[in-house]
């Protein structure tokens, strides 16, 4: 195991950090007079394990090769989900291991699905911990997408290398610098969101927790009715603005601060992302106007389109009562997702952009057999290796979606619940469709087997599929 000392050393640091964050809800417990030993006990266990990993691997090499990068990515998310479930298990709420792990995995992957059916009656410490998990998951996703995924060549993410000279051996020094700047930006946006929520009527506790889950595009709320509980246009508008700010590539913030003032209007992904939002709103508005005028509410259409596309999962209306077509549209939006390098989920905008360009090029070659057509993304030429990576990613995404759906159906779930459950887990969205796991439903009534299947879908979707699947290849473990 000496080859993996860097991996376990880093895991130790992550567990110590997680344990320190577990102490924060204790402050919340003091404030609201809800003291128990759940968070203190969970923090002690987590910090002890983290310290053991840290101290036993002090002689690690200060570099990370490709094999170690894959292993670290998978183990980091899995270990955080496991230790993140301890406060639920140690609480007085009688969480089963399955439910605790489901809630923790849903939080750290910023999915937002929940097994809690009475959120209003939950202890404040538990609600705050759910928000912390999503907030940590959000920054983890950004750092991973910008620093690790590109050098791992996962699903075309190599297009987003920090520098063309990046290699797996050089990633640690540069990633530390980039990660720090990303954390400052992420924390600043969270603070600004919390202040804005508070100004528009949320109390301090709600504004802090909801700001953390908004920027993370996670969607955990303190109320069964989600953001709809507040019934406030100002709060919903604030949520939409900061959800979009969390859905753009975070590297553009760094470029903006470095002097590129036009980056937000020139970035190809952002422009396509905004177009998809407005096209979806337009189509849904026309449909509801013509077929279900009583359900037409532009405010709800705007909010839920943005929330579902970005995988946030906040809701302010029972959109499963809008008819069949809106459900199909929302299912498609779940798959599309937001921009690469953001906190969002799904297949990602850039993959659809490149796939569209590839299809257009193929049609041109049919019309002009002797023509030479160079495939470009954001004015840069891309080769067949990138195309193969993206097509294989989308293919595996759909295969895994159908496998998850089939397994859920075999466990007795109805068609809508199985299909939307699989989609919401692999796309890290949160709510599904239908009466059970729909906008104001939850996952508590599902069989334990279904919950474990959904947690597998969550981590696969969050880590871009191949970062997990590659670990099951025997060739991966050969030197």
pLDDT higher than 80, residue 314: yes
Q: Which of 183-192, 277-286, 336-345 has the lowest mean pLDDT?
A: 336-345
Distance CA 84, CA 71 (A): 19
Block residue for tokens 């474990």: 452
The pLDDT of residue 7 is 87
Q: What percent of the chain has pLDDT over 90?
A: 55
pLDDT higher than 80, residue 242: yes
Do residues 65 and 169 touch, judged by C-beta distance below 8 A? Answer: yes
Please state the separation of Cα 9 from the chain's center in Å. 25
Please state the separation of Cα 170 from the chain's center in Å. 26
Q: What is the mean pLDDT of residues 189-213?
A: 96
* The dihedral formed by the CA atoms of 423, 207, 100 and 462, expressed in degrees to the nearest 10: 40
Distance CA 120, CA 74 (A): 34
The pLDDT of residue 70 is 85
Q: What is the mean pLDDT of residues 406-413?
A: 94
The pLDDT of residue 163 is 43
Q: Which of 327-336, 381-390, 455-464 has the lowest mean pLDDT?
A: 381-390
Q: What is the mean pLDDT of residues 440-454?
A: 92
Q: What is the mean pLDDT of residues 440-463?
A: 93
Q: Which of 14-23, 201-210, 386-395 has the lowest mean pLDDT?
A: 386-395
pLDDT higher than 60, residue 435: yes
pLDDT higher than 90, residue 208: yes
Confidence of residue 173 (pLDDT cuts 50, 70, 90): very low
Q: What is the mean pLDDT of residues 442-451?
A: 94
Q: What is the pLDDT of residues 333-384, one digit of tens each?
A: 999 998 988 888 889 998 999 899 889 988 988 888 888 888 888 777 887 7
The pLDDT of residue 101 is 96
- The torsion angles phi and psi of 464, rounded to 5 degrees, stand at 60, 35
Average pLDDT taken over every residue of the chain: 88
Distance CA 208, CA 194 (A): 5
The pLDDT of residue 296 is 77
Q: What is the pLDDT of residues 120-145, one digit of tens each?
A: 999 999 999 999 999 999 998 888 77
The pLDDT of residue 464 is 86
Of 317, 313, 328, nearest in space to 295 by CA:
317
Do residues 142 and 343 touch, judged by C-beta distance below 8 A? Answer: yes
pLDDT higher than 80, residue 248: yes
Distance CA 385, CA 390 (A): 9
Q: What is the mean pLDDT of residues 219-223?
A: 92
Does residue 221 or residue 440 have the better pLDDT? 221
- Measured in residues, the chain has a length of 479
The pLDDT of residue 164 is 43
Confidence of residue 330 (pLDDT cuts 50, 70, 90): very high
Q: Which of 70-84, 220-234, 254-268, 298-312 has the lowest mean pLDDT?
A: 254-268
The pLDDT of residue 214 is 96
pLDDT higher than 70, residue 175: no
The pLDDT of residue 167 is 43
The pLDDT of residue 151 is 66
């Amino acid at each position: 195991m000496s080859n993996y000392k860097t991996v376990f050393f880093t895991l130790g640091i992550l567990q110590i950090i997680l344990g320190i964050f577990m102490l924060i809800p204790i402050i919340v417990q003091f404030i609201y007079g809800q003291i128990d030993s759940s968070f203190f006990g969970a923090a002690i266990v987590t910090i002890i394990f983290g310290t053991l990993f840290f101290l036993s691997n002090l002689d690690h090499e200060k570099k990370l090769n490709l094999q170690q990068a894959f292993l670290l990515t998978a183990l980091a998310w899995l270990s955080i989900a496991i230790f993140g479930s301890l406060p639920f298990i140690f609480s007085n709420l009688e969480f089963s291991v399955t439910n605790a792990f489901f809630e923790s995995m849903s939080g750290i992957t910023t999915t937002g699905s929940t097994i809690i059916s009475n959120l209003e009656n939950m202890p404040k410490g538990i609600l705050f911990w759910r928000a912390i998990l999503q907030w940590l998951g959000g920054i983890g996703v950004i750092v991973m997408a910008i620093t690790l995924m590109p050098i791992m060549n996962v699903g075309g993410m190599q297009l987003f290398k920090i520098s063309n000279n990046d290699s797996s051996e050089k990633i640690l020094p540069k990633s530390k610098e980039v990660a720090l700047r990303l954390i400052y930006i992420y924390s600043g946006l969270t603070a600004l969101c919390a202040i804005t929520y508070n100004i528009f009527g949320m109390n301090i506790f709600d504004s802090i927790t909801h700001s953390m889950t908004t920027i993370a595009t996670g969607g955990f709320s303190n109320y069964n009715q989600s953001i709809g509980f507040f019934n406030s246009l100002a709060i919903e508008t604030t949520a939409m603005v900061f959800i979009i700010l969390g859905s753009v590539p975070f590297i553009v913030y760094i470029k903006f601060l470095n002097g590129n003032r036009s980056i937000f209007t020139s970035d190809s992904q952002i422009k396509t992302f905004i177009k998809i939002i407005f096209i979806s709103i337009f189509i849904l508005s026309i449909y509801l106007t013509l077929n279900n005028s009583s359900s037409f509410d532009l405010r709800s259409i705007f909010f839920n389109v943005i929330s579902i596309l970005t995988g946030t999962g906040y809701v302010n209306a029972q959109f499963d009562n809008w008819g069949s077509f809106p459900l199909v549209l929302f299912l498609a939006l779940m798959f599309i997702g937001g921009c690469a390098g953001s906190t969002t989920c799904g297949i990602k905008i850039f993959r659809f952009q490149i796939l569209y360009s590839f299809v257009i090029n193929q049609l041109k070659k049919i019309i002009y057999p002797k023509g030479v057509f160079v495939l470009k993304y954001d004015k840069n030429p891309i080769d067949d290796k990138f195309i193969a990576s993206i097509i294989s990613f989308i293919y595996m995404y759909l295969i895994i979606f159908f496998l998850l759906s089939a397994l859920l159906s075999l466990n007795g779930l109805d068609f809508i619940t199985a299909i939307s459950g699989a989609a919401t887990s692999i796309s890290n969205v949160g709510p599904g469709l239908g009466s059970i796991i729909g906008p104001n439903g939850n996952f508590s009534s599902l069989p334990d087997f279904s919950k474990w299947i959904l947690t597998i879908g969550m981590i696969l979707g969050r880590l871009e599929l191949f970062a997990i699947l590659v670990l099951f290849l025997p060739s991966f473990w050969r030197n």
